[in-house]
Amino acid sequence: MTTRVAAADAMFSRFLDNFTGFPTNESRVECDNDSFTPPTDLPWVRLAKRSSTSSQESLGGVGLRKWERGGSLFMQFFGPLNTGSRTLRGHADEAAKLFEGVSLSGNTIRFTDAVVQEIGPSDGWYMIVVEASFVYTETR
């Protein structure tokens, strides 16, 4: 069964297990609200899952009702200012391909699209955001 916790775990694991842009993923990836100190001179990424919709899809007894949940997985890529954006664009493209049109957890989590947004300078970094939209079904 997919729950909010299981969905976030599956999404973060997909990124951590498959993103090859950094030689050591764990030291340059912040997962939503974890303790993290960004490197000072290397690109890094912040992962954040945000829910946006929820609707009951079926009736029935407890444990048989289906709920469709929707939202976005945000991958915020940060690079040092004044070092160009080519590397970050490559990271963003790789991340978008990891999720666009992909299903996870036995097809219960479905990603429909991934939008790359070049934000530009932000708090001393250059930022590009990938927003991957998802829906999943929770039975409860």
Task: Note the pLDDT tens digit of each residue in 54-74.
Answer: 777 667 777 678 888 899 999
More confident residue, 127 or 59: 127
Fold adopted by 4-34+43-139:
STM4215-like (3.30.2000)
Q: State the pTM of this model.
A: 0.89
Ordered by start, the domain boundaries in the chain are 4-34+43-139
* Closest CA relative to residue 81, chosen from 41, 130, 138, 52: 41
Minimum mean pLDDT range among 25-29, 36-40, 130-134: 25-29
Radius of gyration of the chain (CA): 16
